[in-house]
Amino acid sequence: MRSSWADAVENSAGESLDNAGTSGGNERPSAAARSAYVPPHLRNRPPVSEPPAPSVGGPHSFNDRPGSGGPTSGSRWGGGRTEYGRQGYGGGGGGGRGSGGWRGRGGWGGKDREVNPFGNDDVDADAEPAFNEQENSGINFDAYEDIPVETSGGNVPPPVNTFAEIDLGDALNLNIRRCKYVKPTPVQRHAIPISLAGRDLMACAQTGSGKTAAFCFPIISGIMKGNFPQRPRGVRTVFPLALILSPTRELSVQIHEEARKFSYQTGVRVVVAYGGAPINQQLRELERGVDILVATPGRLVDLLERAKVSLQMIRYLALDEADRMLDMGFEPQIRKIVEQMDMPPPGERQTMLFSATFPKEIQVKVRMASDFLSNYIFLAVGRVGSSTDLIVQRVEYVHENDKRSYLMDLIHAQRANGVQGKHALTLVFVETKKGADSLEHWLCMNGFPATTIHGDRTQQERETALRSFKSGNTPILVATDVAARGLDIPHVAHVINFDLPNDIDDYVHRIGRTGRAGKSGLATAFFNENNMSLAKSLAELMKEANQEVPDWLTRFAGRASFGNKGRRGGGRFGGRDFRRDSSYNRGNNSGDYHGGGGGYGGSGGSYGGGYPSAWD
């Protein structure tokens, strides 16, 4: 009954933007309207009219590598980009509030004016934003109806239904309109009031559901309205008020781009710092003043050790992809930043942890209740577009040696169906950096325009590859897990797990690169004997998302001898508050959380032993 590869791709690719699978949908934009959609983060770019004509040099002509004859975008620091570091605009400039900190030195005034991150369609801050586009927000809100929401902790502020209900301030409200956000997504509805109330937060919301805005809005609003002590001047150290950490450089860049839009003409300045790029330009940006610093951990530690940045004025700390930030590889760095530098302790700062997944092990191991958070609220918003029916998930048994030929079938089917191109991007995940290079080379040799992103490439190559993919010039991107989390790439129609990850959470994040903003997508996985440890959790995840689970996978999942772990308390939500798990409210663990960090509010008693665990 299951159809062939080619059928699978044809069927899903043709409808991948239409078969959202939810009821209603009568207001879904037409195909024509959709193709006119320009995602927020691309609206300030020069229009990509036509891809450069492929040079006659063969398959490599689409490659973005140096000397390959592909499109040559300017490098971030090579002067090719126009949206950064423009000088000589004359004086004036925005600055919603004229007090305090670096603004005393001139703020946006002086030589440079704040560059409009919304591009040319927004000529004047006072003018009515252009609302003549077909789409309103790019978000399919039909997909967000009846999302299960779980909150726990004491005195949880009630959710809001509109942005108007929240007093975020005029300047920020204007930017929300410029972003064409008409109403908050579920995670925003719940998280923003919690955050505005000053509460710490651990938030689980599925991929593509608007987490960035959920933590940016309260931070920007708080900085605009807050009265902060004058920050030291005349020293070469800068004192940001907010810190946003993320696990990859590209994600930090993306968060920075979003945050710049949200903070446009609010007087709040956002700066990004990450490795692999020359530090001097980042230092110059910092010295011009910084309220919100977006950074990757390594570069931030470097800046702290050089005393270029001090965290002693931090009032807001946000960890995006927080479970990744606190896993084995990152935890020491994060602890150093959060606990061993000059950052104020929990309670004196507001801490927000966001992720689409929150394995219980992370919550427990790091003991975030007492280490990172103070009297926090746990929020879980059911997955939309990630492991729901918004993403059609397929898994096929493919031996290692057959993978390339299967991949070729998939891509051929897409091309034959005429859906390859700018609006049907294919993201292929592999396990290793070498594997990524090798597969990219093979695809190019076979006439398929592919590029690759992984940690062995230079930062310039990585960013060029991502741009080339996003623009559709190179509609196939081969990636390692560096691209698994957080990246918002519109028009990814198909995620292929050429090599499956070992961890089901990584799978969730990977397939979440499609089905963004309530749109649907397709995810295909190649499964073989090397992936047995994933069988049980994968089968459970797919079943939970109403996906068709092949019989052979169900059989593998049932064999305990494979050391299957199952889904670690994932359940209907992206995660759950470990405080609700009875096993952590008994025995020697309980003291860590009830006695340690000041508890978690008045309703704590209801989480005593014996709480029925519907998810374990």
Which chain residues interact with DNA by CB under 7 A? 247-250, 274-277, 279, 295-302, 305, 327-330, 333, 431-435, 454-456, 480-482, 502
Would strands 201-205 and 350-355 be described as parallel, antiparallel, or unpaired?
parallel
Residue with tokens 């007492």: 370
**Is the CB of residue 584 less than 8 Å from the CB of residue 592?**
no
Tell which residue, 400, 252, 407, has the closest CA to residue 320.
Answer: 252
Judged by beta carbon, residue 73 or residue 333, the one nearer DNA is 333
Judged by beta carbon, residue 280 or residue 401, the one nearer DNA is 280
Judged by beta carbon, residue 191 or residue 273, the one nearer DNA is 273
Least distance to DNA, CB of residue 51, Å: 26
Least distance to DNA, CB of residue 103, Å: 28
Give the sheet arrangement for strand 242-245, strand by strand. Answer: 149-152, 377-381, 201-205, 350-355, 316-320, 242-245, 292-295, 270-273
Write out the two tokens for 116: 């409009």
Judged by beta carbon, residue 172 or residue 430, the one nearer DNA is 430
The phi, psi pair for 181, rounded to 5°, reads -85, 115
Cβ-proximal residues to 465 (8 Å cutoff; 6+ apart), any chain: 64, 451, 452, 453, 457, 474, 477
Least distance to DNA, CB of residue 320, Å: 12
> Rounded to whole angstroms, how far apart are CA atoms 533 and 524?
18
Residue with tokens 């005593």: 608
Least distance to DNA, CB of residue 486, Å: 11
Judged by beta carbon, residue 298 or residue 604, the one nearer DNA is 298
Cβ-proximal residues to 537 (8 Å cutoff; 6+ apart), any chain: 504, 564, 565, 566, 567, 568
Least distance to DNA, CB of residue 324, Å: 8
Least distance to DNA, CB of residue 198, Å: 30
Q: Which residues lie across from 396 on neighbouring strands?
A: 526
Judged by beta carbon, residue 305 or residue 402, the one nearer DNA is 305
The phi, psi pair for 243, rounded to 5°, reads -130, 125
Judged by beta carbon, residue 252 or residue 393, the one nearer DNA is 252
Least distance to DNA, CB of residue 434, Å: 6
Give residue 260's region: left, alpha or beta (phi > 0; psi -120 to 50): alpha
Judged by beta carbon, residue 167 or residue 342, the one nearer DNA is 342
Least distance to DNA, CB of residue 333, Å: 6
**Is the CB of residue 214 less than 8 Å from the CB of residue 192?**
yes
